[in-house]
Amino acid sequence: MAAAKLGLVGLGNLGMEFGLRAVAASRSVVAHDASPRLALAGAARADSVGAVVAAAPTVVSVVPDDAAARAVADELLAAAAGRGSDAPPLLHVSCSTISPAASASLAAAHAAAGVGYVAAPVFARPENMRAGQASFAVSGGDAALRARAVTDALACAAPRERCFDYGDAPGAANVAKLCGNFLIAASIEALGESLALAEGHGVDREAVLAMLASTIFDCAIYRGYGGRVAGRDHAPGGFALHHGLKDVGLVQKAAQDARVPMPLGSLLVDQFTAASNDAALAGLDWSALGLHVSKNAGVDASSK
């Protein structure tokens, strides 16, 4: 039996790559984005979230923040109310990086409407999604609903062993995602500072990074973001600086809610705020935090 049609809401950098993988996996996809200029090659185009719901029993959303996630959910649940009693059960898989509190609120609204909800925030840059290197933190609903989310949606982008199950609490996956993004943001800050130190002493920053990323810090984050920071390659198209500011803000709020001291988190909020307010950096990838660090260190950021 052919797989049921898959709905997709959100065709930003990451959502677009997810959709392309779904199409490449021979899934029948119907896609919508708030921007009418964005369309997914190989997919049917929907002019609203409601049209996606009408066409697909499983809907994946990939949107930038809490407000956008709530707006999508409001439209989705309104459309769900008009589905016939013989329609298959509707499932919404939220792959967005949002606050744990927002995820819990969305789950409650979905449950009240009789619609399944699974939080599945994704770890991937667009190029990682394209290469099949995404990972998902998954929670909410029950085990059967999460298994359906993996089979019907997430399998397009990641094997089952890269879908990490955090249980029934819908906000749990979002906490795990914020833990990961906090560590990435902290790594970018640390890379910026350490390479500015090298450069301040006249030592080639790229040579230092090559040693570190091939020995004691031989891991994807230090190789990938280290290469961007060392080479000052912060071209837009991956993960924008203002999204980084949003995420470290979510980390700070989650820490406050749990009364967990995170002094490094406060530093990151200050650093990302200052970098985002710099007109020369505002449109760049979030790794451009390294340029802000260089400027603070008095290093000539126009050179490598």
As annotated, the active-site residues are 177
Q: How far apart are CA 60 and CA 39, in angstroms?
A: 16
Amino acid at 37: R
Q: Which helix (H) or strand (E) holds 296?
A: helix 289-296
DSSP state of 302: T
Alpha-carbon 86 to chain mean position: 34
State whether residue 196 is helix, strand or coil: helix
Q: How far apart are CA 167 and CA 170, in angstroms?
A: 8
Q: How far is CA 165 from CA 93, 154, 168, 252, in A?
A: 14, 12, 9, 24
Task: Name the percent of the chain in helix, strand, coil, to the closest 5.
Answer: 55, 10, 35
Q: How far apart are CA 8 and CA 59, in angstroms?
A: 6
Contacts 24+ apart (CB under 8 A), 243-247: 243/64, 243/97, 243/286, 244/185, 244/272, 244/276, 244/286, 244/289, 245/269, 245/272, 245/273, 245/275, 245/276, 246/64, 246/65, 247/97, 247/178, 247/181, 247/182, 247/185
Q: How far apart are CA 170 and CA 174, in angstroms?
A: 8
Structure-token pair, residue 49:
């979230």
> Both ends of the chain: CA-CA distance in Å?
55
Q: How far apart are CA 238 and CA 278, in angstroms?
A: 19
